[in-house]
Chain A
Amino acid sequence: MIVTIEFLGMQRTLTGADSIEMPITKKTSVDDALEYARDKYPQLELDEGMILVTVNQKIAPRDQALKADDAISFLPFISGG
């Protein structure tokens, strides 16, 4: 089973990729995806309090289990100008 981690905005510049794929098991969680991205791209700053994680464009708790074909994004906080 595979999920996609999408990189938006500055993350794309830092990683040089629009997205990457990540293999998952039934026990893989949002937190694991976060760790996977951190390991692969140490230059990405994905600290607690700096980003929100969405799965399929909905905010997701860190312990949410991932399922095949989920799309994960790490969002900055956007609150309008």
Chain B
Amino acid sequence: MEILRQIKYKPARVAGGYTDRILRVDLGSREISIEKLAPDFKDKYTGGRGYALKLIWDGTTGQTRYDSPENILVMASGPLGNEPGFPGTGKFIVGTISPMTDTFIDSNVGGHFGPLLKLAGFDALAVTGIAEKEVVILIDGDAHTIAIAEAPQYDKETDDGALSYSERLLKDINNGQYSDCLAAASAGKGALHARYGVVHSLYYDIRRHRIRAKQAGRGGTGTVMRTKGLKSIVVRSSLPKANGNNPVDKKGVRAAGRAMKQVISKADPTQLHLSAWGTTILSEYMDKFHIFPVKNYQYGQSPDSVKLFAHVFLDNYFSRRIPDGCYYGCNLACAKGAEKVALTRGPAAGRKVSIDGPEYETVGAVSCMGIFDPQFVMEYNWYCDQYGIDVISTGVTIAFFMECLERGFLTVDDIGYELKFGSITAANRCLHEIAGGRGFGKVVGRGVARGKKWVAKKYAARNKATEDKVMAELDKFGMEVKGLEFSMYITKESLAQQGGYGFALKGPQHDEAWLIFIDQVYQELPTLEDKAAALKWFPLIRTWFNATGLCKLHWIDVRNPEAAATDEPSKNLPTLAHYVDYLNATTGSHKSLQDILDDSERLYILQKLINLRQGKGTRESDQVPLRAMAPAFFNEYQSRAEYYDLWLGQNGGVKKLPTSPKLRHKMLIERRKRDYQQLCDAVYEQKGFTPKGIPRREIIAKFGLLDEEARRLINETGA
């Protein structure tokens, strides 16, 4: 391996969860430097997403795009990542300016990379510049070296795969042995062709005796990585993982961790049982409540959905009785996997492969294409991973084009083949074309937002219509906001979750707020004010998880039995108390839950400022497609006409409903549109924003963020 640049360094010791160091690597100039952070940096920006936001705010401009040399690819854990005594501490975030949204995106991912990066001496890695030729970065906390090396070449099949390349590299640089002292972040060739490339987090699983992968899946972080000419980043540290954070109060950490593990081991087996079934268990519940995104989110249910329920994967694919945590100490262990799955399609047909997943999102993405074949789910999962593309955006974008064909916006000639709902042959072909940058895949690889423009242009020219008029139709069912595709939940019947997606600063990904059940099923948010309050509180607490290096599932998907006796059971406050204890014991702080929420609000406002700067920060950017609010077309209305008529009777505000079903459909749409605008007003008020969705000057000042750039933005927008 040819080393292009190498430095020696002395790894900083982790103390109280932090190293107070950022590793900066510029691939253009091949400069490697270590930045020592000022003492107040962590107080203001916490870690993880907070560090990424601050680096992006300071280091990029409104003109920065995903492929600009100054764009920064940040990888950062947080003060609470890296503690096997507490469950779910292997997370780190990958943050950057997105090729999908042109604004800040971050995606959180599990595995060992975040913890090992910290043990190697760094709270964050910030990569800038574009390499002249493809490179890898090697961070060796044992040898005390950091290097940029020319990406080694193996054989074509290995080199092209996001999984295979870094698997080989991890072995190659460790004398032919896998080790849990090494981990890699990796992007594949598909990320060069599609805007929604992922960053894989690869780690050695000592129970399965193989390299496993988790994904920072959303928003094209992998595309940024490959655009920089960076194929892989490997980090090594042999320092002990136990007490790796050197917490201020070890006993306190142990006590908090013990309490959390007890909650998980007691409650999870009687609730979702993620430890047995992983997140695939969600499919059945989503289908039951009309939330499964069947055929591009048209229908929430299908008689065929049962073919994709959790028991199918458990019985036929998942390896049983293997605790599948993606980091040490996690007893929720939801990272399910399968071994020796024979591929039947695509260029690797005939091979037997190990597959990490599927997660619920992969199953949902396949149902979105109208496909209900579990073997295809497995193969789609593996190919997306090996190519390094996002299962969600891939599925949603293909589904959008399937609907364009179905509704006559495109012809078979436009596509080159019959890309129709339910066709495995067509979906499979499209998947490989996307990854290879071939044929119609070149269009699909750009995502729904750009796809809409392409279709509008084509259709308008053919039919002598205006592009604006066609776009208005496509906007009804093109499932994206801010340029990012929706994650896999139907929101038509939950106004709160329409906002959960619409206001999400990165675009409609549910890690900012997932309120569907709380709203639609549990009915804990009956008023507009309740919904608005939830749309402030949940994004803040969820932001905190993304800033600290923690997995959210232990809090949000395992209800502490003690929560039932609290005023707001859905907040699961008894469990959050353990998290507050864990934070204070690790860092030596004396924070309350409210202090944590305040810390998060600073990060939230900073992210909003970045959105404003990038042109995605106003009310206009928070609008959701019609299908997110209501049945966009008559066929969707007809599929649940009885339910919708009942809803209109209760909420329509008229004594007598129109006799014509088409008029009732129209009335429903108008009512839902009005509700969403009322929600916007209530939420902006709650968050301290103007009716245009812009943070008020005083709230920016409150969090110490009113710097020159923020002043300029606020002056320009008139807030």
Contact = CB atoms under 8 A, between A and B. Distances in A.
A47 to B, nearest CB: 7
A59 B570 CA distance: 14
B320 to A, nearest CB: 13
Contacts of B561: 47-50
A45 B360 CA distance: 24
B298 to A, nearest CB: 19
Interface in B145-186: none
A8 B522 contact: no
Contact of A59 (B269, B273, B521): B521
Contacts of A57: 288-289, 521
A49 B575 CA distance: 13
A50 B271 contact: yes
A79 B523 contact: no
Given A50-B270, A81-B279, A12 B311 contact: yes
Given A49-B563, A50-B267, A50-B559, A79 B514 contact: yes
A77 B284 contact: no
Given A73-B288, A77-B271, A81-B553, A9 B281 contact: yes
A53 B195 CA distance: 43
A30 to B, nearest CB: 15
B510 A45 contact: no
Interface secondary structure of A, over-half rule? loop
Nearest to B359: A81
**Max chain B Cβ within 10 angstroms of own Cβ: one of A48, A76, A81:** A81
A52 B564 CA distance: 10
Given A8-B288, A81-B553, A52 B522 contact: yes
Contact of A77 (B273, B516, B559): B559
Nearest to A57: B289
Contact of A81 (B522, B557, B563): B557
A51 interface: yes
B557 A77 contact: yes
Nearest to A13: B311
A48 B516 contact: no
B113 to A, nearest CB: 20
Nearest to A8: B284
Contact of B570 (A8, A9, A79): A79
A76 B311 contact: no
A49 B281 CA distance: 20
Interface string A66-81: 0000000101111111
B517 to A, nearest CB: 5
A75 B277 CA distance: 16
B595 interface: no
A72 B310 CA distance: 21
Given A49-B561, A49-B562, A58-B523, A80 B556 contact: yes
Given A12-B311, A13-B311, A58-B523, A79 B273 contact: no
A21 to B, nearest CB: 18
A12 B288 CA distance: 14
B276 interface: yes
**Max chain A Cβ within 10 angstroms of own Cβ: one of B269, B311, B515, B522:** B522
A77 B557 CA distance: 7
Interface in B493-546: 510-511, 514-518, 521-523
A59 B282 CA distance: 18
A54 interface: yes
B417 interface: no
B564 A48 contact: yes
Interface in B566-612: 570, 572
Contact of A80 (B310, B514, B563, B564): B514
Interface in B305-320: 310-311
B666 interface: no
Contacts of A59: 521-523
B552 interface: yes
A9 B285 contact: yes
B270 A45 contact: yes
Contacts of A52: 521-522
B657 interface: no
B557 A80 contact: yes
Contacts of B518: 79
Given A48-B564, A49-B559, A75-B285, A80 B270 contact: no
B36 to A, nearest CB: 36
Interface in A29-75: 45, 47-52, 54, 57-59, 73, 75
Given A49-B561, A49-B563, A79-B572, 9 more contacts: A10-B281, A49-B564, A54-B521, A73-B288, A76-B271, A77-B559, A79-B518, A79-B570, A81-B557
15 contacts: A9-B277, A10-B277, A48-B561, A48-B564, A49-B562, A50-B559, A50-B561, A51-B271, A58-B521, A76-B272, A77-B271, A78-B285, A79-B517, A81-B360, A81-B553
